[in-house]
Amino acid sequence: MSFQAVVVRKHDHGHCAQHEQVEDSALPEGEVLVNITHSTINYKDGLAITGKAPVVRSFPLVVGIDFAGTVKESSSGDFKTGDAVVLNGWGVGETHWGGLAQRARVKSDWLIPLADGLTSWQAMAIGTAGYTAMLCVLALEEQGVAQGGDILVTGATGGVGSIAISLLSKRGFTVTASSGKPAQADYLKALGASEIIDRATLSSPGKPIAKERWAGVVDTVGGATLANACAATRYGGVVAACGMAQSLDFPGSVAPFILRGVTLAGVDSVYCPKPKRLAAWQQLARELDLDHLNTIAKEIGLGEVIAAATDIVEGRLRGRVVVDVNR
């Protein structure tokens, strides 16, 4: 048997991504074979497909760091045929064949059950981006940021930013969205943002410490934006950092940390322990306004993935992109 997939192959001048037919026999080892129904495109997938960053570590590789579907075969006692499952991270789509395909074979430990109340489409409309957003929200609250505080969300029209705004506003926080897309102001306000600021106010080098403004920050872009967000965080505030869309650099100062007791909390979604990721998904199913997903996400077919990857890397996409792998 064979299946359709987006495959990255290496050549003399770099690598290229193709939508092609793959034999089942080529699938890597793993205890569970999954028939995928939906996947998604994250920023990391865009980098992997376009080659803008060395995300792919092994060739040839089926890309895609997320998928949802049903178990076709399992040698693990944790899952049986017909179980609805979700996968995020664990190096899938980087070192192990991933989810932008109609089938995947993976380790049992990498899978979690689809949370009650979610469809596979909704799970992928959330995806790694939304799951990361929930981890950021939990990091703020675990570090003591009280509900009702002023929270800055950077990269606000992206997947993490969009879902973070929805989650934070529903929890009673006052959310300021930083975006370089003024035309998307109505979209951000519909998700719960109270104020929109131009990302240019944060994206250039700033002062080591600035006027206190934010009780907490969800930062998806890194670079000068992250440094400026830290500089304007209030005494005892928390900055959850989860992305590097602007830069991997941190051109900042220790001043916010030693003068205001600001906490910089790193948020990793790829290797997050299973109990924590299960808790995050369960809270997403309970707390996220699922109606917002119809605003945040759009759907494409597998054959449209390569073009969409370029769009997401170049900042032309808003929110989330769900991939119906059978379309």
pLDDT in tens, the chain (327 residues): 999 999 999 887 778 999 999 999 999 999 999 999 999 999 999 999 999 988 998 999 999 999 999 999 999 999 999 999 999 999 999 999 999 999 999 999 999 999 999 999 999 999 999 999 999 999 999 999 988 889 999 999 999 999 999 999 999 999 999 999 999 999 999 999 999 999 999 999 999 999 999 999 999 999 999 999 999 999 999 999 999 989 999 999 999 999 999 999 999 999 999 999 999 999 999 999 999 999 999 999 999 999 999 999 998 989 999 999 999
Instruction: Mention the CATH class of domain 128-266.
Output: alpha beta
CB atoms within 10 A of CB 142: 11
Q: Around 252, how many Cα atoms within 13 Å sit in the side-chain half-sphere? A: 26
Q: What is the pTM of this model?
A: 0.94
Domains of the chain, by residue range, sit at 2-114+291-324, 128-266
Instruction: For residue 41, give the 3-state DSSP assignment.
Output: coil
Measured at the CA of 134, the angle between CA 129 and CA 139, to 5 degrees, comes to 125
> How far from 153 is each of 30, 43, 216, 223, CA to CA, in Å?
38, 17, 9, 15
Cα separation values, 74 from 62, 79, 178, 253, Å: 21, 6, 45, 51
Return the residue matching tokens 């939304």.
130
Share in percent of the chain as helix, strand, coil (round to 5) = 35, 30, 35
Q: What is the pLDDT of residue 13?
A: 76
Fold of 2-114+291-324: Quinone Oxidoreductase; Chain A, domain 1 (3.90.180)
Tokens 């890597």, located at residue: 28
